[in-house]
Structure 1
Amino acid sequence: MKLSPDYKSKIRVASVQMALMQTPSFRDLFDRVRAFAEDAARQDADFICLPEHFTLQLLSAAEQKLSPEASIDKLTQTTAQIVAEFTGLAKELNINIVCGSHATRTDAGKTENITFLARRDGTIASQSKLHPTPDEWDVWGIKGGDSLEPIETDCGPVGIQICYDSEFPELGRRHADQEVGLVFVPYCTEARSGHLRVRYCCHARTVENQCYIVTSGLVGTIENVENCDEAYAQSAILTPSDAGFPPDGILAQAPINEENLIIADLDMTMLEKARTLGSVRNLANRRNDLYDVKWSV
């Protein structure tokens, strides 16, 4: 199976491992985001990825902890500003920004967990989380999105799988069938066990689909935010485990539970070599006569 011919041969990616902090205002949060983006842009990164649910920090400024419904109301009020700020920042710094994720009500009244991708040409795209966790569903009323499509960028098509989505192998295979070789996974997990579920599944996806995956997680603790007391992460840039790649499939990773920015260069031609000449060729060796992944949309 070929990668999309639109891929640049070399892509530099950055991942933000962000610490939860009491956040007095939208500007305080966005100034932190800008500092990370400026750092990545100075290093000529093509992409920077932020963690899932990083905008929950905006709720910490409330005089009293908001209820889940009031929290979604508050976050929805910031959605247009978030889109505008990220769109402007991506164009200003000439970097594609995978904008973590943001819980918001859509125009149809449905609460979703959405990742926006602000392209450096000033346009924006989005991907909704398809599989809300039981906790997201029960507490926030978040419902799953309805489609999984590649997002076109100047570096080629990329995929986004938000946290729990990475634990469903059908999504990785769907992206591989769509000629995607680079997938971003913003995540937020409160304990090491949850982090490892995401990490192990992302490693599996790189082997199964011979792709790169960039994970970006939240860390630390925060008060006055419903259903977000603490977070555990070790964000990473992951590769297949084959000749020419790191033996452990880890190109870069952040220190555990410390705010950090990691950057690495991805050679997309290596994926093509792995798919055609690798010691294992998972995509080429599929038994389509026995099994396949079919999507209804």
Structure 2
Amino acid sequence: MAKTTIGSVQYEIGPLKTKAAFWDQVNAHVRTAKENGVNLLMFPEYLTGHLLALEPEMSTPDACAYLDRHTDEYMTTFTEISRQTGMTILGGTHIHKENDGYLNTAFLFFPDGRIERQTKIHPTPEERRTWFLTAGDSYSVYDTEHGKLAIQICYDIEFPEGSRIVADMGAEIILCPSYTDTAAGYWRVRHCSQARAIENQLFVVLGGIVGELPHVPQIDAGYCQAGFFAPSDHPFPASGTLAVGETNKNSVIIHTLDLELIQENRKNGGVSPYFDRKTALYDRYRTTSKA
């Protein structure tokens, strides 16, 4: 498919009275996306963290265990939503237990029941110190009717090596579900998303959490302006920004990406940073620095 319409959710956290209210909010975004012709819908990092609003304040280890108890429901519900709507859905990320540790994993649900996953490679210092999350150890690119997709979860996008790896694996679109609780955190992820689009001559789609939950220390506030980013070069806008949402508004930002324009950029752009790398030179310095 040369063109695909993607929806990036700015998901608002706030008080919850029931679990059903959480799923009602998820489904409201799904309906908006479906009504606007979205083929691929992305929810943000820590989506199911909103469920912590249903409980009194708890420690982070207890919060991880609480979220893990919702894993079966999370998996079956998003599988059914994807099947019913015919949309491919990245169900944000979900904390779940595997072996003896907890992982922060993005799950990608397909209408035919296929499920792919990408665990966060670089947990933040807080996720390491407080959440004790286990880091992922592999990258994947998914061949889909929407193009070749890769997932870089929030902090992962701040490391250029990962995006370069998935670009070399054929990725055309990087999905970046994020959770940033400050403007500074958001702009780090935003600027790096734009840098990764330029460096690798591909699309990056960013989404995140907005709103406040003061009594939930693990997910107390969100700051985001979702966006779609491309190389700052022909045939794209000079800024490389294709579409952005209204900052901190509960909404779905929708844009149609044309994958043929990525090929046009790679062939006829003013610069070609993806192809003009001097890998032998870089490798020489990496070898020297290790010595």
TM-score by length of structure 1 reads 0.93
Could you say which residue in structure 1 is the equivalent of 2:6? 13
Contact map agreement 2:224 2:247 (CA 8 A) in 1: yes
Could you say which residue in structure 1 is the equivalent of 2:289? none
- After TM superposition, give the deviation of residue 292 of structure 1 in Å: 5.3
Instruction: Give the Cα separation in 1 of the matches to 2:144 and 2:65.
Output: 31
- After TM superposition, give the deviation of residue 122 of structure 1 in Å: 1.8
Select 1:124's aligned residue among 107, 111, 115.
115
- After TM superposition, give the deviation of residue 228 of structure 1 in Å: 1.9
Instruction: Give the Cα separation in 2 of the matches to 1:128 and 1:199.
Output: 20
Give the residue type in structure 2 aligned to 1:74: Y
- After TM superposition, give the deviation of residue 160 of structure 1 in Å: 0.3
Indicate whether 1:87 and 2:42 are aligned: no
Could you say which residue in structure 2 is the equivalent of 1:141? 132
Give the residue type in structure 2 aligned to 1:22: P
Indicate whether 1:29 and 2:22 are aligned: yes
- After TM superposition, give the deviation of residue 24 of structure 1 in Å: 2.6
Could you say which residue in structure 2 is the equivalent of 1:97? 89
Instruction: Give the Cα separation in 2 of the matches to 1:74 and 1:49.
Output: 24
Could you say which residue in structure 2 is the equivalent of 1:267? 258
Q: How many residue pairs were aligned?
A: 285
- Per-residue CA distance 1:165-192 (angstroms, 9 max, x = gap): 0000001100110010101001111111
Give the residue type in structure 2 aligned to 1:84: T
Instruction: Give the Cα separation in 2 of the matches to 1:21 and 1:176.
Output: 37
Bigger drift between 282-291 and 212-221 goes to 282-291
Normalized per residue, which structure has more helix? 2
Normalized per residue, which structure has more strand? 2
Please state whether the residue corresponding to 1:159 is helix, strand or coil.
strand
Bigger drift between 53-62 and 198-207 goes to 53-62
| C-alpha RMSD over aligned residues | 1.5
Instruction: Give the Cα separation in 1 of the matches to 2:231 and 2:222.
Output: 27
Give unmatched runs, 5+ long, in structure 2.
287-291
Give the residue type in structure 2 aligned to 1:220: G
Please state whether the residue corresponding to 2:27 is helix, strand or coil.
helix
Give unmatched runs, 5+ long, in structure 1.
1-7
Instruction: Give the Cα separation in 1 of the matches to 2:274 and 2:167.
Output: 8
Q: Percentage identity across aligned positions?
A: 33
Instruction: Give the Cα separation in 2 of the matches to 1:123 and 1:25.
Output: 29
